[in-house]
Amino acid sequence: MSSDELNIVLIGVLGLLGLGFYGLLALRNLVKLVIALQILVKAAILGLVVAGNAGDNIGLSQSLAVTVIVADTVVAVIALALVVQIRRRVGTMDVRDLAQLQG
């Protein structure tokens, strides 16, 4: 992997991170928020593997990436189950409506 290719993939990591951040900040639908979180984690996975490739330690980076994938999947499962429950109980998936709930 040449230096140019490394920089291109790093720009891809930055782009995914930016999109994920923007989604988390700007979106209001709960499912879309989980999707933005997934994009952020994909950026993290790509960053880990790029770092392993550049640092000549691809085995370690792969094992860390596998851990991240497992944790991310569990987070997605729990978040989606919460979204389904919120939709059933409150009847909305809008974050702004949820922020106005009073306990």
According to CB under 8 A, which residues from 14 to 73 bind another protein? Answer: 14-19, 21-23, 25-29, 31-32, 34-36, 38-39, 42, 45-47, 49-67, 69-71, 73
Of 35 and 103, the one with the shorter C-beta distance to another protein is 35
Gap between the Cα atoms of 28 and 31, Å rounded: 9
Decide if residue 77 touches another protein (CB under 8 A). yes
Q: How many residues bind another protein (CB under 8 A)?
A: 79
The nearer residue to another protein, 49 or 102, going by C-beta atoms, is 49
CB atoms within 10 A of CB 77: 10
Which position among 44, 81, 102, 103 is part of the footprint of another protein (CB under 8 A)? 81
Residue 21 beta carbon to another protein: minimum distance, rounded to whole angstroms: 5
Q: For residues 78 and 70, is the Cβ–Cβ distance under 8 A?
A: no
What DSSP string runs through 51-102?
HHHHTT-HHHHHHHHHHHHHHHHHHHHHHHHHHHHHHHHHS--BHHHHHT--
